Amino acid sequence: MNPAEREAKLLQIGADLVQTSTADETEVLFIEGRSFLSRFSRNHIHQSVGTEEIFAQVRVVEGNRIGCATSSSLQMQALRETWEAALAIARASEPIRDWPGLPPPLRTKKLDAYDDATAEVSAEARATRVAEVVAAAQAKRGEAAGALETEESTLAVANSRGTAVAASHTRATMHTVVTCADGSGYAEDCSTRLSDLDARAVGRSATRKAHDSRKPQALPPGRYDVVLEPVAVAEWIEMLSYIAFGGKLFDEGQSPLSGHLGEKVTGWEVTIYDDALDRRTLRQPFDYEGVPRKRTVLIEAGVAKAVATNFYRAKRMGRHRSSGHALPASTSYECLPLHLFMKGGTQSERELVKGMKRGLLVTRFHYTNILDPMKTVLTGMTRDGLFLVENGEVVGPVKNLRYTENVFDAFGRIEGLSRKLTLVRNPCVVPAVRMAGVQFTGATEF
């Protein structure tokens, strides 16, 4: 079944359920998809699997009472039982006094986010790309581990106010950790199209880092200037999405941006926005309520400008319309930006390193956790490529360190950003960043 036929099928099933519903309002959300994974370690593929999944969610409204239930079936009997469960939950729930109703129908853009070749790729074709990573590792007597995954998915939303939208996309992602003796290196790539993945470059990048990371030296904890590569930057931006940029926490006074829109929260170099329509990201035309997504500036030149909203939060906060960032109604976060961008600068990554007198070049972070969401304090470990820089030159590998840092404060100490932006799996599209005085609070033995 091609994407158009699948979209039509899901919309018809949704329309049938909505039309037979006796609730005041009804919304049906479908996500139907297939994914195929080749996982490898020690330079061999050890798992090649495929899955097909269906997520069906029914949200019903009785008066101002809301109920939501989910299913993993498209069979009408199962969906009617899901509707009945949602109705029972609604009748047992506390009313939402300021409930604005479900979103009305709005025009959405048709995006080119589906690639037939990616949807139909064989296990042999995936293995060919894995082999390119393995060959790069073996050239330096290293071992590669990681995964290559391809997926196709269709999202459809229908509601009793007339919303009926559907869209399909494909995605290909690859990541690897290469080890050379006691050194390790990480690299990744992702795209809507498998043909855009450069497996050879992924393998060579991770292998080079692993080879150069051998025999790391211990460095005491303390404050160090850093150059964060894009994967590390994206880790922090993604965490900010959860703790700062969501409308629910903002509205409840639990976001560090609550009460601070229009105020300076980072350095002037920082502009962060969300844009699911941009060709540089993994595009999506509408959110999980069927509302068109739009470019939303969250921080502009260091000043907090907005947070992401769904239809309900937008109305509560006096906004004219939703920003198009609803998550499935069964999700506690409710609305989040999922296609984040950080504006770049004017330098190359090499120039960022060259401009650092003494500091660290960080490939990525690992096991990042939130310590204080209101102060944007995160903690985590460096991983798979940490290097000491002196007088603008990388002088050698360093054993991993634990950081504990206020991200907004750190973004106030930026000294440069790369002009090149990189799509990271999250998805985030971000530059490399140089900043002063990041706090490292612990050392490791590796």
Ordered by start, the domain boundaries in the chain are: 3-205, 216-237+344-443
Q: What is the dihedral of CA 223, 264, 340, 291, to 10 degrees?
A: 150
What pLDDT is recorded for position 162? 97
The continuous run of DSSP H or E covering 29 comes out as strand 25-41
Order of all β-strands in the sheet with 65-71: 65-71, 44-62, 25-41, 143-159, 164-180, 183-191
C-alpha distances in Å from residue 133, one per residue of 123, 158, 209, 322: 16, 43, 14, 43
The pLDDT tens digits for 3-39 are 999 999 999 999 999 999 999 999 999 999 999 999 9
Look at the block and give the residue holding tokens 């994974």: 37
Helices (H), 300-360: 311-316, 349-354
Would you give per-residue pLDDT tens digits along the chain (446 residues)?
899 999 999 999 999 999 999 999 999 999 999 999 999 999 999 999 999 999 999 999 999 999 999 999 999 999 999 999 999 999 999 999 999 999 999 999 999 999 999 999 999 999 999 999 999 999 999 999 999 999 999 999 999 999 999 999 999 999 999 999 999 999 999 999 999 999 999 999 999 999 999 999 999 999 999 999 999 999 999 999 999 999 999 999 999 999 999 999 999 999 999 999 999 999 999 999 999 999 999 999 999 999 999 999 999 999 889 999 999 998 889 999 999 999 999 999 999 999 999 999 999 999 999 999 999 999 999 999 999 999 999 999 999 999 999 999 999 999 999 999 999 988 999 999 999 999 999 999 99
Category of 406 on φ-ψ map: left (φ > 0), alpha (ψ -120 to 50) or beta: beta
The pLDDT tens digits for 111-145 are 999 999 999 999 999 999 999 999 999 999 999 99
- State how far the Cα of 132 lies from the Cα of 149, in Å rounded to an integer: 15
DSSP-assigned beta bridge partners for residue 270: none
- State how far the Cα of 378 lies from the Cα of 368, in Å rounded to an integer: 7
What pLDDT is recorded for position 314? 97
Pairing of strands 143-159, 296-300: unpaired
Please check whether residue 254 is in contact with residue 294, taking contact to mean a CB–CB distance below 8 angstroms: no
- State how far the Cα of 333 lies from the Cα of 329, in Å rounded to an integer: 9
What is the rounded average pLDDT for all residues in the chain? 97
What pLDDT is recorded for position 416? 98
Nearest to 137 by CA among 39, 230, 209, 195: 209
* SS3 label, residue 190: strand
Helices (H), 107-229: 116-119, 123-138, 199-212
Cα angle 384-390-396, degrees, rounded to a multiple of 5: 35
Please check whether residue 269 is in contact with residue 414, taking contact to mean a CB–CB distance below 8 angstroms: yes
pTM: 0.97
- State how far the Cα of 100 lies from the Cα of 98, in Å rounded to an integer: 6
The pLDDT tens digits for 339-385 are 999 999 999 999 999 999 999 999 999 999 999 999 999 999 999 99
Please check whether residue 50 is in contact with residue 70, taking contact to mean a CB–CB distance below 8 angstroms: no
- State how far the Cα of 84 lies from the Cα of 68, in Å rounded to an integer: 10
C-alpha distances in Å from residue 152, one per residue of 161, 285, 290: 28, 15, 19
DSSP-assigned beta bridge partners for residue 228: 362, 433
Look at the block and give the residue holding tokens 């799509």: 423
Identify the CATH homologous superfamily for domain 3-205: PmbA/TldD superfamily (3.30.2290.10)
Look at the block and give the residue holding tokens 């899955």: 51
What pLDDT is recorded for position 1? 86
- State how far the Cα of 144 lies from the Cα of 142, in Å rounded to an integer: 7
Buried b (16+ CB within 10 A) or exposed e, 242-251: ebbbbbbbbb
C-alpha distances in Å from residue 393, one per residue of 211, 249, 379: 17, 43, 27
